[in-house]
Amino acid sequence: MFDTDSIRININDVTELKHWAKKFGVSRNEIKSAVGAVGDSLTAVKQYLSPVHEA
């Protein structure tokens, strides 16, 4: 298992941005907004977006 705290999301890389948007089931703009709100840490973005996916 890897440490998601060390993974950074690069919103300036279109391929990476598309990957994370697909992975989280959100738009690329939502990924950018999440990074803007909580920083580029995968863990922080995942926590920020998690309420979107909870039913």
15 vs 6: CA distance, rounded Å: 19
Work out how many domains the chain is built from and give that number: 1
Structure confidence by residue, pLDDT tens digits, 26-35:
999 999 999 9
Q: Residue 55: what pLDDT?
A: 43
**Overall average pLDDT of the 17-34 stretch:** 96
> How many CB atoms are located within 10 Å of the residue 3 CB?
8
Residue 18 sits in which domain range? 4-53
Of the two residues 2 and 48, the one the predictor is more confident about is 48
